[in-house]
Amino acid sequence: MRRKSDGKGTETTARRPLENESRRRFIKGATVAAAGGVAATGTLLADINGGAKAAGKPIPIGGGVPLTGWAATDGIEFKRALELASEEINAMGGILGQPVEPVFEDTKEQGAANIIPAMQRLIDRHEVHAIINGYNTGAVTAEYDTIADAGIIYIHHNTDIVHHQTVGDNPERYSTIFMGDPAEYWYGPGLLQFLNDLDANGLYKRPNNKIAIVTGSQNYSVVIANAIRDSAAKYGWDVSLYETVVIPISEWGPTLAKLRSDPPAVIAVTHWVPQDLAQFMLQFAPTPTNSLIYMQYGPSLAAFREIGKAATDGVLYSTVIGSLQDKIGQDFSDRYRAKFGDSSTPAVGAQVYDSAHYYAIAAALAGGTGGPGEFDQNAKIAARLRRQIHRGVVGTTKFSIPEQAAIPYPDATNDPSLGMPHQYLQIQDWQTEPALVAPSPYQTKQFKMPPWIKA
C-alpha cells in the first residue's frame, strides 16, 4: 500500500502504483523517448531549432555557485554540469540558433552576504539571461528580490521549504524563480512511508514502533527532523528520542548510550556531514542495536564509505534529486566522466544539467531568451516552464503551482511521470556504488537486511 497525496500533505492510502510489468513498460518507454543519449529534450530542442547552427552573439547563462569554501566540491560539479549542458545545447543549435555561454560567480562560503553580490554581479556585469544553480545555503531566499528586480529566470536547487512560502505567497513578484528539486520537508513523510512500505512488503518486520531522530543544528537537518517527528504518529510511529547534536561532532558516545538504553526500530540521523556520519557508524558497529539506520545526504558521498568502510554496509539514505541508475542516467554519467574524469561526480551535477536543458527548451518555445529588464519575454519563458514536463537524467521535473518547486514522487504524486523520484538507496557493499532500492519503477535492487540486525 502506498500513500496518495494532493501535494499539500493530505494523504490517503492507495494501491502500489506500478508492478513489475508496468515498471518495465515505463522504463522502456522512457528510454526510447530519451533516444539513448541526451534526454528526449535533446531531440526536441534540435527540432525547435530547425537545424540551425549556433552562431552569433552568445547568450550569457549564469551560475552563482560555491567555487571555494566548504561546498566547493559540489560547486565545481555545478559548474561542470552547466558547461556540459551548454556544449550539448550549442551542438543542437543553441537557443533558436544563438549559442549559450556559461559564466560564473563564486558564492564562496555562501550566506546572503556572498550570494546576493554574486547574483548582482551576474546580472550587472555579465547581463545573464538566466541563472541556473545547484544549491546555496544560508540566504533563505534573500536573493530573490535581486532576481525579481531584474526579471530574469532563476532556477536553483536549494531544497528549501522556505521557497514554497516565499514564492507561494507572492507568485507574481517571484514568477521567474523556480526550485528545480523538491523541498527538504519531503524527506520526513517520505521516509516514514518508505519504512511502512518495507514492513508491508515483508522486507523488514519492525520489532517496535519506536523511531529515534538525531538531528544536526543546521536549518536543513532540523526541518527534516521536525517533519519526521510531526508526521510520525500519522504513520504509526512513536518518537523515542529527539536529539540535537552540535556540529561538527566526532564523539557519539553519549548519543549511542541513549540509543542502546532504549533501542528503537529505526534510527534516523538528519545531520548530513559525511565524516561525522561515518564516525557514528564506526562507533555504532561494535555494539549495534536491532535498528534500521537512515542517514541524510552524507552517505551519498563516497567519503562516507571510504571513512566508515564495512561499518557502513546496510545504511539507508535518500535524495530528492540525483541522476538515476537507468539508461538515461547512466549515459549521462558516462558522458560526464568522459569529459571531467573519473573523480568527477555526475550525481551532483545532474540537477544543473537537467535544468539547463529544460530552460533552453522553454526559452526556444517561448521565442527566445530575455536579458535583465526584459520582463515580458522572461514571463513567457516562465509560463512555459510552469506548463512543461521534462524527463531528464534525474527523472521527471514538473513544477507545483503556485510554489514553482519540483513535485516529488511518490511523496506528493503517485504518478512517476509527473514527479521527481525521491530515491532511496542502500549501501550493500561499501566498495561498490549504493543500490537504488525505491521507488518503483526506478529501483534496481531489492532492500537487504543490514548485517548488524539479528533475526
Chain residues binding another protein by CB under 8 A are: 68-73, 217, 243-246, 248-251, 253-258, 260-261, 274-276, 278-279, 283, 286-287, 303, 306-307
Q: Could you tell me if 107 and 118 are in contact, meaning their C-beta atoms sit under 8 angstroms apart?
A: yes
Nearest residue (CB) to another protein, 68 versus 446: 68
Nearer to another protein among residue 128 and residue 311 (C-beta): 311
Q: Which is nearer to another protein, 13 or 287 (CB)?
A: 287
In angstroms, give the least distance from the CB of 247 to another protein.
9
**Within 10 Å of residue 20's Cβ, how many Cβ atoms?**
9
| Closest separation in Å from C-beta 246 to another protein | 5
The least CB distance from residue 298 to another protein, in Å, is 10
| Helix, coil or strand: residue 60 | strand
Closer residue to another protein, CB minimum distance, 66 or 450? 66
Q: What angle do CA 439, 442, 444 make, to 5 degrees?
A: 100
Nearest to 255 by CA among 273, 269, 265, 266: 269
Q: Amino acid identity of 246?
A: V
Please, which residue, 208 or 244, has the CB nearer to another protein? 244
Could you tell me if 434 and 443 are in contact, meaning their C-beta atoms sit under 8 angstroms apart?
Answer: no
Q: Which is nearer to another protein, 241 or 418 (CB)?
A: 241
Q: Is there a contact between 19 and 13 (Cβ–Cβ < 8 Å)?
A: no
Residue 337: which H helix or E strand, with range? helix 327-340
**Residue 147 C-beta: closest distance to another protein, Å:** 27
Question: Could you tell me the smallest distance in angstroms from the CB atom of residue 336 to another protein?
Answer: 17
CB-nearer residue toward another protein: 259 or 360: 259
Give the N- to C-terminal CA distance of the chain in Å, as an integer: 24
**Residue matched to cell numbers 521535473:** 397
Min dist. Cβ of residue 257 to another protein (A): 4
Any residues with CB less than 8 A from the CB of 360 and at least 6 apart, and which? 41, 45, 85, 89, 94, 95, 100
Nearest in space to 49 (alpha carbons), one of 367, 379, 358: 367
* Cα 206 from Cα 204, distance rounded (Å): 6
**Nearest CB to another protein, comparing residues 288 and 314:** 288
Shortest Cβ 263–another protein spacing (Å): 13
Q: Which H or E element spans position 162?
A: helix 161-169
Q: How far is the CB of 104 from another protein (least distance, A)?
A: 17
Classify 28 as helix, strand or coil: helix
